[in-house]
Chains A and B, each alone.
Chain A
Amino acid sequence: SAVISQKPSRDICQRGTSLTIQCQVDSQVTMMFWYRQQPGQSLTLIATANQGSEATYESGFVIDKFPISRPNLTFSTLTVSNMSPEDSSIYLCSVEDLAGGGETQYFGPGTRLLVL
């Protein structure tokens, strides 16, 4: 299975600022995913990030609010822009498991964001 790291692990931010979250994988993967997990809730997919193309956003999420970069096959960033307290969540990146046919995903440890 892939080993995934995220930076920062947690942060406390002021309203109106932006935070960029990094996701690093120890092997090359085609697809990386970004999820949001609000307190006490399950996971909601924000977007799918493929190398060499623009990210694909799910309903309710827009590029201006959550710009994503995918410069190579082992790295991606998610920016949470113009933050409000409603953005306080855990943000998780995941990658496809190619050995498992691509339908299984492995997750990073998450970034815990608190917006004041």
Chain B
Amino acid sequence: TQLLEQSPQFLSIQEGENLTVYCNSSSVFSSLQWYRQEPGEGPVLLVTVVTGGEVKKLKRLTFQFGDARKDSSLHITAAQPGDTGLYLCAGAAGAGSYQLTFGKGTKLSVIP
């Protein structure tokens, strides 16, 4: 069974601060997705990383996939109140399996 450990579980920061969320596993994933979920909504896909060592940027968000494809990080620069939400990482095992393994999530609150 593949597991994804996500940290921190909760994060409360002031507007303008930087933060990093981590997603770690002992298993190799063929790809890893990051989602953001706001209260009352379903998860919304932010990015998919596929290649070991890959770095993707989405405005103030930077996503990195570890060289061994076992871990990933999400870095937010100059956080804004609109970044508040639950951030979920999810790994795909590949090899014909379409199932995703989800981390427990990081609940981020950005205080104005």
Contacts and interface: CB of A to CB of B under 8 A. Distances in A.
Size band of the interface chain B makes with A: 20 to 34
Looking at A42, A100, A101, A106, which has the most chain B CB atoms within 10 Å of its CB? A42
Contacts of A33: 98
Interface string B64-108: 000000000000000000000000101010100011101111000
A82 B8 CA distance: 37
Interface string B29-54: 01101010000111111001000000
Given A45-B100, A48-B99, A96-B98, A106 B105 contact: no
Contact of B100 (A105, A108, A109, A112): A105
A104 B43 contact: no
B99 A108 contact: no
Given A103-B92, A103-B94, A43 B45 contact: no
B88 A42 contact: yes
Nearest to A108: B42
Interface residues of A, number: 26
Contacts of B40: 109-110, 112
Nearest to A41: B104
Most A CB within 10 A of own CB, among B30, B33, B99, B104? B99
Interface in B1-58: 30-31, 33, 35, 40-45, 48
Contact of A109 (B42, B92, B98, B103): B42
Nearest to B33: A104
22 contacts: A1-B45, A41-B105, A42-B102, A42-B103, A42-B104, A43-B43, A43-B88, A43-B90, A44-B102, A48-B98, A94-B42, A96-B98, A102-B98, A103-B30, A104-B45, A104-B48, A104-B92, A105-B90, A105-B98, A107-B42, A108-B42, A110-B42
